[in-house]
A and B are shown apart, each in its own frame.
Chain A
Amino acid sequence: MRSRGFGGFAAGALVAGAVLWSFATTDVDLSRLLSAGPRIADFLGRMVPPDPTVMNEIVKGSAETLRIAILGSLGAVLLSVPLGILASETMVSPALYRPVRTLLAFIRAIPLILVAMLMVGAVGLGPLPGIIAIAFHATGMLAKFYAEAIDGVSRAPIAALESAGAAPLAQLRYAIWPQMAPVVARDTIFRFELNLRESLILGIVGAGGIGFYIQTYVRSFQYEKAASVTLAVIAMVIAIEGINVALRRRFA
């Protein structure tokens, strides 16, 4: 109990220290902080009313975002199938799955926006760096999920089919896959939803999609147009959430 009390004190001191350090070393004086509220209000004020003439750009940008999410997800699935198998405790030896899992954790640790910036640097502006970034970033999570789906399969029905003389392919089809399929479907849809959501902002770093227009309009002080695009993004996030809830219900 004593050590726990000390642990709590240490944690509190650490947090307080971190906050004080941030205040002391960040270059914001109090007057700027106080005027930030009105400035933000003013900024938001210039966004109303949203400019509806950008409908074309919204449709074009959304379609590209959707394409980036779909192709990026496809790439992630194609990468995650082999990597998921290699990260599975039940399919390969520890000498293999341990480093593969570390690699996946490493991939997950890199923020998507960073990957996208690097890819823009590597292959240039447009949807291609976005697709590559999504595929890479999503694989870190999806391959881990696939590995868990493989490892979650109960061995007993497989042993039963083997005992009945079923060939390995038949075991895969009738004992392994039926157990995995719902998990794989659910995880893939979940990851696709995240990909769609995250790809909305990829355009800000030049990796294609609707985010490109937000960035363009803000930089050229066309705040009413930026507002319209932002609202469209919010509407899409809500729509994705709604579809997701409906799908969850189906897979429950």
Chain B
Amino acid sequence: MSAAAQIGDLSFVHQGAGLPALDHVSLMVPAGESTALLGPSGAGKTTLLALLDGRLRGWRGRVSVLGAPLDPDHPPSRASRPDIGFVFQEFALVERSSVLRNVLNGRLGRMSPLRAALGSPLPRDLEVARAALADCGIADLAERRVDSLSGGQRQRVAIARCLAQEPRLILADEPVSNLDPARAAEILTLLTGAARARGATVLFSSHQPDLARRFADRIVGMRDGRIAFDVAVGDLSDVATADLYRETTALPAIGLRAVT
């Protein structure tokens, strides 16, 4: 089984933060599959995904994505970036631009810098963008401005932009956390379906174990910056899931100090 991402003994502390957001993480993300990153708030899911996207500096450990090692001190080359697609937790769309324009923005890294700056997409760029819109079920919204859309529609635009990029690895940060259960299932169906159809790997984070079970082949549990478990979907036990989301029992340091 080949790896879309290989992580060895990875640690990272956010600037100004005391505790590490990632604490000696080792993980292999198998290529061509869907992996869910499960864990409570603050577990380090967003941090891990952003790091794999090449957006964080100053970490320690070994990370390679799509066969190429990441450099902890320098951003990845621009040419390598379109291969990794990212669906942002808060969408990160250009609100005042049209849906089609936002989806075409996903193509910018595939165009020559001159063509991208001039804003003249090739027929192929338009074709890929239109196909992504259709796959996300929003072909009829192409000309609408994003600031006129609902949360679920925006989520679809964010995914369509990512698909238009033609990534080989899709990192999706809580792609359904803003949606009701029915809409959430629809979105994950189209995300994992579109990825499978394109032979792309998906790594998505989620708070919802039931959705992870339904849509992932593999489930990774994270808590306090550490990997709690890493299992095939059939091997996930309810006990492990419940333990992942257990309440914090340790007293906060400030409380202890007050006693002594």
Contact = CB atoms under 8 A, between A and B. Distances in A.
Interface of A: 154, 156-157, 159-167, 169-170, 173-175, 178-179, 182
B96 interface: yes
Chain B contact patch, size range: 20 to 34
Contacts of A154: 95
Interface string B72-108: 0000001111101110101111111100010001101
B55 interface: yes
B106 A164 contact: yes
A165 B80 CA distance: 8
Given A165-B81, A167-B108, A175-B105, A160 B117 contact: no
22 contacts: A156-B90, A157-B93, A157-B95, A159-B55, A160-B86, A160-B88, A160-B92, A163-B54, A164-B106, A165-B78, A165-B80, A165-B81, A165-B110, A166-B108, A170-B108, A170-B116, A173-B119, A174-B97, A174-B119, A175-B105, A178-B97, A182-B96
A167 B114 CA distance: 9
Interface in B28-85: 53-55, 78-82, 84-85
A182 B108 CA distance: 23
Given A157-B92, A157-B94, A167-B116, A174 B108 contact: yes
A156 B111 CA distance: 21
A174 B101 contact: yes
Contact of A165 (B55, B93, B108, B119): B108
B151 interface: no
Contact of B53 (A163, A174, A179, A182): A163
| Interface-centre pick from A154, A162, A165, A167 (highest chain B CB count, 10 A) | A165
A174 B92 CA distance: 13
Given A164-B85, A164-B165, A156 B108 contact: no
Contacts of A173: 117, 119
A159 B94 CA distance: 11
Given A159-B92, A174-B101, 5 more contacts: A156-B92, A160-B93, A164-B109, A170-B113, A174-B94
A156 B82 contact: no
A161 B105 contact: yes
Given A160-B86, A175-B105, A166 B96 contact: no
